[in-house]
Chains A and B, each alone.
Chain A
């Protein structure tokens, strides 16, 4: 029996949905190959009027806030010390790590010269938000990778690296939150240069702050959705009690976000707001369905306690953030009378990237101790003496 045969047999044993995901990912990979063979012009609907399309709007500008769960939860659990939420941290870190890795993939596909991506590290231009974001994404992907190493080391029982990772855990959490604050907001700074291009419903000087706040809303919501779904479909432990706590924090963040949004809209916006009916509808849907509705829902205790309704509210927030990012980076940027829609190949690539995210998450949860990690057995205070790390923990967690 060769290694290849073992792998094939292993894959044959997967659920139909996982096999379907594998097909989608392969299609996406083929489509991205086509982009390099035939060029961006033929494979995408991009042109000189719409230089940025679906790959930037979704794979980068939207995917980054959707991967914000890791830093938000890390800060909540370790810095604000709401320790009981700890079991949710690992899945969030895996999501974040996958999310950022796939952002890098999407970015490389979209770049004209992906082989030169290291140029950003060499030819610094601190005046460019893109420079800042690419440095941050590189740094944060590294941080997430290090955080992700913990379950990997546990799986294989590597003691020494585990101890090292434990030592740098707090610095990593703080670094994650600070770096994320920077690039989540700087994605908003991207569009501050689009004066007279981005419609004034979204263009205002506080865009970076709004991007940061809404990223936290998305991050928390993604954790709720993810935990609910992995309980329902993957038979993972039920975390409803913890999700209730998260659902209590979420409306506060939404309230701050909406307050800043209303303030910037009323006080800081220049230019007409009501001249484009289509955009106005998009704006109203974004704020009402993706902001106000889940806010009202989550203020109700019955909704927070009900698994279904809580997940619905979280889905609404996610939809609101996605629509917001598309409004800012795509719809709001379109000049009147012009229209961009993604080509078939562009869509296949993006669907492939989403499928890859779900696929890798399922597979990682299958083979590594992501949900089995039981924090009550671990001392999470800053390790002031090295010998405090329990020796039996690594094996115990892997077996459990």
Chain B
């Protein structure tokens, strides 16, 4: 957890305008190329709709979800790009026992495969269901979108943002939010008047603009409070509880044993016995 006192306005963020997405899935391909991810054997309609692969996995860090709906009597497609949200205060980073996840100052949440012990707590904790596991391996590790940290720290854009011709903008988080609000104000009839990611899970580095309500596109409803705070409110009490329980039990047993010793000595004095024959 390196996120304290970090200015998230200056960290990089994705602005993904789903109304401009054409569903070409160039981002999926670019992601696989840059991250050297294997192909998956797919079949039509094994997932929810037209999209393939059916789910994100150890081989697929990002994915375009298709949703068909009717508009003015015509069939239309709406899209949703699923990927790691790179939370400002990531749940995965807070629960990882070995601190394998890190929120970088550039924005991406990185994962250190050398540290990971494979406990899968990150998968349980992530509100967006992003970290995936290498289920095929005997000694598996976790895989997830890296936010192309290796590119970003050298001043490049992430692979998917570079490839995308229309929908993905990449830049400082503050500016991305400003830009999103500008687009909503310019064409209020086109956009849903809400941003997904500006406040979700305490704010993320991926901001979505859509035309359809979020839940219809498959966005998960997520708390606005940073997730690490939920566990920290209990965990911060740990040292105090340890000292309180430890010291009060010590005191209690010291008193009780002292009482017993005094009683025993009293008894011995009365009977005049030597301490060696006590038992």
Q: Chain A: residues with CB nearer than 8 A to chain B?
A: 35-42, 46-49, 51-52, 75, 78-81, 110-117, 119-120, 122-132, 134, 170, 173-175, 177-179, 181-182, 185-186, 188-190, 192-197, 205, 207-208, 333, 377-379, 381-382, 384, 388, 390
Per CB-CB distance, the 8 closest pairs between chain A and chain B, nearest first, are A112-B118, A41-B135, A81-B256, A125-B99, A51-B123, A51-B120, A130-B97, A131-B97
Q: Does B215 contact A (CB under 8 A)?
A: no
Q: Which residue from chain B places its CB closest to the CB of A75 in the assembled complex?
A: B249
Q: State the Cβ distance, B89 to closest chain A Cβ, in Å.
A: 10
Task: Tell me whether A189 and B256 are in contact (CB under 8 A).
Answer: no
Given A47-B135, A52-B124, A178-B249, do A111 and B118 touch, yes or no (CB 8 Å)?
A: yes
Task: Tell me whether B117 and A205 are in contact (CB under 8 A).
Answer: no
A sample of 17 more A-B contacts (CB under 8 A), given A132-B235, A381-B257, is A52-B120, A79-B253, A111-B118, A112-B137, A114-B117, A116-B117, A116-B118, A120-B98, A128-B121, A129-B234, A134-B97, A178-B246, A181-B241, A189-B234, A192-B231, A381-B264, A384-B261
Q: Which of B43-51, B80-88, B126-134, B146-154 contacts A (4 or more CB under 8 A)?
A: B126-134
Q: Which residue from chain B places its CB closest to the CB of A56 in the assembled complex?
A: B120
Contacts of B275 in A (CB 8 A): 388
Task: Tell me whether A193 and B98 are in contact (CB under 8 A).
Answer: no
- CB pairs A–B below 8 angstroms (15 shown): A36-B139, A41-B135, A48-B135, A51-B133, A52-B124, A80-B252, A123-B99, A125-B1, A125-B98, A127-B231, A132-B238, A182-B238, A186-B234, A193-B230, A382-B257
Q: Does B223 contact A (CB under 8 A)?
A: yes
Q: Which residue from chain A places its CB closest to the CB of B278 in the assembled complex?
A: A379
Q: Which of A36, A129, A177, A190 has the most CB of B within 10 A?
A: A129
Task: Tell me whether A48 and B129 are in contact (CB under 8 A).
Answer: yes
Q: Which residue from chain B places its CB closest to the CB of A127 in the assembled complex?
A: B94
Q: Does more than half of chain A's interface fall in helix, strand or loop, or is it mixed?
A: helix
A78 to B253, CA, bound (A): 7
Task: Tell me whether B235 and A127 are in contact (CB under 8 A).
Answer: yes
Contacts of A39 in B (CB 8 A): 135-138, 140
Task: Tell me whether B132 and A182 are in contact (CB under 8 A).
Answer: no
Contacts of B230 in A (CB 8 A): 192-193, 195, 205
Q: State the Cβ distance, B223 to closest chain A Cβ, in Å.
A: 5
| Interface set, chain B 233-263, CB cutoff 8 A to A | 233-235, 238, 241-242, 245-246, 249-250, 252-254, 256-257, 260-261
Interface residue total, chain B, C-beta cutoff 8 A = 67
Task: Tell me whether A195 and B97 are in contact (CB under 8 A).
Answer: no
A117 to B116, CA, bound (A): 9
Q: Does B165 contact A (CB under 8 A)?
A: no
Q: Does B145 contact A (CB under 8 A)?
A: no
A192 to B94, CA, bound (A): 12
Given A174-B253, A195-B223, do A129 and B231 touch, yes or no (CB 8 Å)?
A: yes
Contacts of B135 in A (CB 8 A): 39-41, 46-48
Contacts of B241 in A (CB 8 A): 181-182, 185
Contacts of A196 in B (CB 8 A): 127, 220-223
Q: Which residue from chain B places its CB closest to the CB of A393 in the assembled complex?
A: B279
Pick from B1, B223, B235: contact of A186, CB under 8 Å: B235
Q: Which of A175, A178, A193, A333 has the most CB of B within 10 A?
A: A193
Q: State the Cβ distance, B233 to closest chain A Cβ, in Å.
A: 7
Q: State the Cβ distance, B136 to closest chain A Cβ, in Å.
A: 5
Q: Which residue from chain B places its CB closest to the CB of A382 in the assembled complex?
A: B257
Q: State the Cβ distance, A230 to closest chain B Cβ, in Å.
A: 27
Q: Does B211 contact A (CB under 8 A)?
A: no
Q: State the Cβ distance, B115 to closest chain A Cβ, in Å.
A: 6
A266 to B246, CA, bound (A): 32
A185 to B237, CA, bound (A): 11
Task: Tell me whether B139 and A193 are in contact (CB under 8 A).
Answer: no
Given A111-B119, A178-B246, A189-B235, do A195 and B127 touch, yes or no (CB 8 Å)?
A: yes
Given A127-B94, A177-B245, do A189 and B231 touch, yes or no (CB 8 Å)?
A: yes
Task: Tell me whether B279 and A205 are in contact (CB under 8 A).
Answer: no
Contacts of A122 in B (CB 8 A): 98
Contacts of A186 in B (CB 8 A): 234-235, 238
A131 to B231, CA, bound (A): 12
Q: Which residue from chain B places its CB closest to the CB of A189 in the assembled complex?
A: B234
Pick from A38, A80, A114, A208: contact of B256, CB under 8 Å: A80
Contacts of B139 in A (CB 8 A): 36, 112-115
Q: Does B91 contact A (CB under 8 A)?
A: yes
A197 to B121, CA, bound (A): 13
Pick from A126, A127, A378, A381: contact of B260, CB under 8 Å: A381
Contacts of B121 in A (CB 8 A): 128, 130, 190
Task: Tell me whether B234 and A177 are in contact (CB under 8 A).
Answer: no
A41 to B136, CA, bound (A): 6
Q: Which residue from chain B places its CB closest to the CB of A112 in the assembled complex?
A: B118
Task: Tell me whether A81 and B234 are in contact (CB under 8 A).
Answer: no
Contacts of B95 in A (CB 8 A): 127-130, 193
Contacts of B220 in A (CB 8 A): 196
Task: Tell me whether B115 and A119 are in contact (CB under 8 A).
Answer: yes
Pick from B98, B231, B252: contact of A119, CB under 8 Å: B98
Q: Does B195 contact A (CB under 8 A)?
A: no
Task: Tell me whether B124 and A51 are in contact (CB under 8 A).
Answer: yes
Q: Does B141 contact A (CB under 8 A)?
A: yes
Pick from A48, A110, A126, A195: contact of B123, CB under 8 Å: A48
Contacts of B256 in A (CB 8 A): 79-81
Q: Does B161 contact A (CB under 8 A)?
A: no
Task: Tell me whether A120 and B260 are in contact (CB under 8 A).
Answer: no
Task: Tell me whether B117 and A111 are in contact (CB under 8 A).
Answer: yes
A186 to B121, CA, bound (A): 14
Given A75-B249, A123-B99, A127-B94, do A112 and B234 touch, yes or no (CB 8 Å)?
A: no
Task: Tell me whether A81 and B261 are in contact (CB under 8 A).
Answer: no
Contacts of B100 in A (CB 8 A): 123
Contacts of B98 in A (CB 8 A): 119-120, 122-123, 125, 131
